[in-house]
Structure 1
Amino acid sequence: MALQDYMKLLENIGAVVFATVDSDGKPHTRFANIGVANENGIFFMTKPGNEFYTQLKDNENVSISGMSNDENGIQAITIEGKVREVDQSYLEDILKDNPYVKDVYPDEEDRKSVVPLQVYEGSGFYMNLKEHINDAFEFSANEHNT
């Protein structure tokens, strides 16, 4: 599979598990929605000031895991990478197909206050149980493009 196939799978899964560590080195996980995933990285958003945001600002390393089970069988993907904040102009693309945004941020003003983020480089592992595929891949985005 090519990088765009892995990223498309991740984007289609949508809500994935993000793992970070706090200032004491303790791990924390939470679900967050992938807004855009492509050759330019993985784009998502969160609210400034929450624990997730603080942990990402204190330590740019993140691990992401997602799984789907459909006609292609069980597919799992894990990515370890580095995160950076990107310009607010990315929010429109990140939010446009997010089915959860109105539940998480029901107020339009709340949506405007979220921070867009990009996993700009990393490595990943893909597994398809039905097809017996195990692949590793890497990605690196030089620019902040979506």
Structure 2
Amino acid sequence: MNAQECLHILREIKDVSFATVDEKGFPQVRIIDVMLIENNKLYFCSARGKDFYKQLKINNHVALCAMTKNYQMIRYSGKAQRLDNQKYWIDRIFKENP
């Protein structure tokens, strides 16, 4: 299975476990929504005041894990990037996720 197939499966699952690293170097996991998949990229949102956002700013290495209804596990890891033109992306994400 290639990366694009994994991403599409993650979008179908929608709610996934998403790990960041805190300021002390410890893993922190939470459930997030996969908001959009496009061009081999996964898009998600976080509010600026949350620990999740702060952790992404300190260390952008992330990992996520989910399980399909058929008990197939999908794992994905990479580096998160803050997007330019945030209004465009926020509008786009909420259009895709009413």
User: Which amino acid is 2:91 matched to?
Assistant: E
Name the counterpart of 1:35. Answer: 35
Q: 1:2 to 1:23 in 2, by over 3 A?
A: closer
Larger radius of gyration: 1
Q: SS of the residue aligned with 2:80? A: strand
Name the counterpart of 2:47. Answer: 47
**Identical amino acids, percent of aligned pairs:** 34
- Scaled by the length of structure 1, the TM-score of the pair is 0.60
Contact 1:7 1:39 in 2 (8 A): no
Q: Which has a greater percent of strand? A: 1
Q: 1:54 to 1:39 in 2, by over 3 A?
A: same
Q: Select the residue among 78, 81, 87 that pairs with 1:81.
A: 78
Equivalents in 1 of 2:6, 2:65: separation in Å? 12
Contact 2:4 2:40 in 1 (8 A): no
Q: For structure 2, list consecutive stretches of 5 or more residues without a partner in the other structure.
A: none
Number of equivalences: 96
Which moved further from structure 2: 41-50 or 84-93?
A: 84-93
Name the counterpart of 1:122. Answer: none
- Scaled by the length of structure 2, the TM-score of the pair is 0.86
Q: For structure 1, list consecutive stretches of 5 or more residues without a partner in the other structure.
A: 100-146
Contact 1:46 1:52 in 2 (8 A): yes
